[in-house]
Amino acid sequence: MDIVSSGVEVERRPAVRMSVLRLRRPFEVTGALDVAFGHPWPNEAGRIAGPVYWLGPGEWAIVGLEPERVEAACLAACAGATHHLVHVGEATAMWRISGPSAGALIARGCSLDTHPRAFAARSCARTLFAQVPALLARPGDEPAFELIADISHADYLRGWLEDARTDC
């Protein structure tokens, strides 16, 4: 589903693969995770590094990678560390909301301050969006957001986004 309105575009992405890694003592293995995933591991609140989204202390979402690749990398990096890896599979839906009025549309659905000074490029946060638990991210410098939620809420969110974009 693509919704285009003056100032905002909403694009539904195909179901996205997602894994969640939890670590008891992340500081012991973040260097190994840097090597295993080929880029610095996000260790700052609400940051994104490549496909890895910081969800909370000792918890990350790995978005868009094959579960086998994630599992191999995590097993190599976390050997001996107390950790838990779960593959959510393709049970999540993703939307890309972009354009000059993208922030206004996001503001209608959640209470996060998404101004670039407060929610900078490569930031993410868990939130309630239109009363649905979701992960909101600003993947780059452009006025664009990713909204990731359980696929069971996809129809509701599609309708909500269609209604809300008419007001932007």
Each residue's pLDDT tens digit, 147-159: 999 999 999 999 9
Contacts 24+ apart (CB under 8 A), 37-40: 37/62, 37/73, 37/77
Q: What is the DSSP letter of 42?
A: P
d(CA 102, CA 7): 7
d(CA 25, CA 9): 41
Q: How many CB atoms lie within 10 A of CB 166?
A: 10
Q: Output Rg (C-alpha) for the chain, integer angstroms.
A: 16
As given in the structure block, the two tokens for residue 108 are: 């209608």
Interval 71-89: pLDDT, tens: 999 999 999 899 999 998 7
Interval 7-60: pLDDT, tens: 889 999 877 899 999 999 988 898 999 999 998 999 889 999 999 999 999 999
AA identity, residue 159: G
Q: Which residues pair with 149 in a beta bridge?
A: 93, 134
Question: Structural domains in the chain?
Answer: 2-14+92-162 (3.30.1360.120), 17-89 (3.30.70.1520)
- Listed in sequence order, the DSSP H helices in 2-99 are 30-37, 67-78
What is the model's pLDDT at position 1? Answer: 46
